Chain A
Amino acid sequence: MTAGHHQIEPTNRGPWSAEEFGGLLEAAKSGADWAWRRLVEAYSPPLLGYVRLRGAVEPEDVLSEVWMAAATSIRRFDGDEPAFRSWLFVIAHRRAIDAGRQAGRRPQPSASTGFDGLASRLAASAESTALEVISSEQLADLLSHLTGDQRTVIALRIIADLSLEETARIVDKRIGAVKALQRRALDALRQRLEHASVSS
């Protein structure tokens, strides 16, 4: 843990029962500081991960915009916790597209991420956790080789932990289309890993 960072209390991040979430939502709608703090702490990590992998140049700024948009509309939100999560990622999806177009470029693979050594570290990491051998930069590098649609679907399915149905709704595609995108994405990642293995 680095200095200046805040360790989130597990109880603050849930899991929440339906009743707890209902109370939290109503309190947030009325502007309660504690409620907003819990929501922001609970959902910001995956939101930040999502906008980062969408290639946002200033992901913290995009995260702030997502929450401001949510605060503006939350009084009209009516749903349970999964619906709220999905709703937040709909907003994040739109803001990430906006930020990407403002930046005027797609995320490019970084040459400084040390990706070439990743495959060999993975091969030797049977007793380690994935996070001990793969950095955030390397993950971003891997995903930067996917198409925009593939990257979006993978980020929504894995980082946002959304279902096929929710992902399809956010990207406005049929479930079969999302299945095709995620299959192609994983195949592309696997080929990338194999290529790195051969060349390292």
Chain B
Amino acid sequence: MSTSDDYHSDMNRTNLTSEQAEALISGTAPVLHGLERLAMVIDALRNDESAELDEALVDRIVRGAIVRVSEPAHQDPALGSLGRGHRVGTSVRSLRRRITTVAATVALLFGSGSVVASAVDGASPGDLLYGIDRALEAVGIGNGGAAERLEEVEQIVADGDVVGGLQHAAALVAGAVDETAASPGNQAASAALASAAQRVKATRSNQADTTRTEVGALLDYLAENIGHVDGRKVAELSRLIGNEPETQPQDRGQGPVDPPGQSKEGAGNPNPGPPSPPPARDRKAPK
């Protein structure tokens, strides 16, 4: 690790890498020269809320919690919780998938979906509406901009997960480019991206240079056309990924295609479904 003035200057000019950012946040590596002030801000942030609470507030919360916990449960127990360590069975996943479909349909009916979002965004884990809430955010309603989401796609691809990047791009085109997400062009483009992800997965071409070049061309197009993406152009670029033959049904312009999120689980997919969550990390008990 350099501590020279030249390196200091370089750090001040260049962007952080993902590894440098993670090291700063997790505190797992010495702070690079030139990043000391940023590290101090992170340290202050980590220790900002010291062990000082209003005693009356604690008493009030404790009393309220005891009353609440003694009340009979009134929520659908099948939905359970959504975090790590919680049991969510296949039937629950199926229910959540149906809720997602319903949410997408309702969002289409209501245009931008903002009415739906405002109705459900107060949901918490275990609430019936919680799945809808997450589904709305997953397609980009009310949270995050298109440019930022495109960078997320690029980061996912850079991390070696081309399939995941394409699936993320499908969600981006379907819901986060602008509020005309329900247009046939965007739906076709989203489905084409999801189909490309399926092909890359099926052909195991995740790391092939040609695949990455083709995905790069698609991302370049998206980056240059945020806000006015041509669904046909996206579909055209997507078809090149994984060398899909020109006679595939999706080649017929903006015709019938699987909605995003469904095609990847269709017939012929040797490995359907999302990846399993990583194992729990060891972590210190509360501070």
Q: Would you call B75 an interface residue if the criterion is a C-beta within 8 Å of the partner chain's C-beta atoms?
A: yes
Pick the contact of A83: B45, B47, B86 (CB < 8 A): B86
Q: Which residues of A contact B87 (CB under 8 A)?
A: 78
Q: CA–CA, A25 to B182, complex, Å?
A: 45
Q: CA–CA, A8 to B129, complex, Å?
A: 36
Total A residues in contact with B, Cβ cutoff 8 Å? 107
Q: Which residues of A contact B68 (CB under 8 A)?
A: 68, 71-72
Residues A94 and B86 in contact in the complex (CB < 8 Å), given A36-B66, A60-B57, A81-B286 = no
Residues A80 and B24 in contact in the complex (CB < 8 Å), given A5-B54, A158-B46, A176-B156 = no
Looking across the interface, which residue of chain A has its beta carbon closest to that of B47?
A: A131
Looking across the interface, which residue of chain B has its beta carbon closest to that of A86?
A: B83
Q: Would you call B225 an interface residue if the criterion is a C-beta within 8 Å of the partner chain's C-beta atoms?
A: no
The reply to whether B62 and A33 form a contact with Cβ atoms under 8 Å apart is: yes
The reply to whether B69 and A74 form a contact with Cβ atoms under 8 Å apart is: yes
The reply to whether B45 and A158 form a contact with Cβ atoms under 8 Å apart is: yes
Q: Would you call A112 an interface residue if the criterion is a C-beta within 8 Å of the partner chain's C-beta atoms?
A: no
The reply to whether A14 and B286 form a contact with Cβ atoms under 8 Å apart is: yes
Q: Which residues of B contact A142 (CB under 8 A)?
A: 41
The reply to whether A90 and B82 form a contact with Cβ atoms under 8 Å apart is: yes
The reply to whether B286 and A13 form a contact with Cβ atoms under 8 Å apart is: yes
Q: Which residues of B contact A33 (CB under 8 A)?
A: 62, 66
Q: Would you call A103 an interface residue if the criterion is a C-beta within 8 Å of the partner chain's C-beta atoms?
A: no
The reply to whether B138 and A134 form a contact with Cβ atoms under 8 Å apart is: no
Pick the contact of A187: B15, B64, B118, B283 (CB < 8 A): B15
Q: Which residues of B contact A164 (CB under 8 A)?
A: 22
Q: Would you call B228 an interface residue if the criterion is a C-beta within 8 Å of the partner chain's C-beta atoms?
A: no
Pick the contact of B81: A87, A165, A176 (CB < 8 A): A87
A151-167: which have CB < 8 Å to B? Answer: 154, 157-159, 161, 163-166
Pick the contact of A148: B41, B71, B130, B143 (CB < 8 A): B143
Residues A4 and B54 in contact in the complex (CB < 8 Å), given A14-B286, A43-B286, A176-B161 = yes
Please indicate which of the listed interface residues A36, A64, A91 has the most CB atoms of chain B within 10 Å of its own CB: A36
The reply to whether A79 and B53 form a contact with Cβ atoms under 8 Å apart is: no
The reply to whether A169 and B17 form a contact with Cβ atoms under 8 Å apart is: no
CB distance from A73 to the nearest CB of B (A): 4
Q: Would you call A105 an interface residue if the criterion is a C-beta within 8 Å of the partner chain's C-beta atoms?
A: no
The reply to whether B61 and A194 form a contact with Cβ atoms under 8 Å apart is: no
The reply to whether B144 and A161 form a contact with Cβ atoms under 8 Å apart is: no
The reply to whether A180 and B16 form a contact with Cβ atoms under 8 Å apart is: no
CB distance from A54 to the nearest CB of B (A): 12
A62-95: which have CB < 8 Å to B? Answer: 63-64, 67-83, 85-87, 90-91, 94-95
The contact string, 1 if C-beta is below 8 Å from chain A, for chain B 81-99, is: 1111111000000000000
A80-B85, A194-B12 known; 4 new pairs, CB 8 Å cut-off, are A94-B124, A169-B82, A182-B22, A189-B38
A-B contact pairs, 26 of them (CB 8 A): A5-B54, A7-B51, A28-B65, A31-B70, A33-B66, A41-B51, A45-B51, A48-B49, A72-B126, A73-B75, A77-B81, A78-B81, A79-B85, A130-B41, A136-B49, A147-B144, A172-B137, A174-B152, A174-B156, A174-B161, A174-B164, A176-B158, A182-B25, A184-B148, A186-B21, A190-B37
- A binding-site residues for B, Cβ under 8 Å: 1-2, 4-8, 13-17, 21, 28-31, 33, 36-37, 40-46, 48-49, 52, 60, 63-64, 67-83, 85-87, 90-91, 94-95, 97-98, 101, 119, 122-123, 125, 129-131, 133-134, 136, 139, 142-143, 147-150, 154, 157-159, 161, 163-166, 169-170, 172-177, 179-184, 186-187, 189-190, 193-194, 197
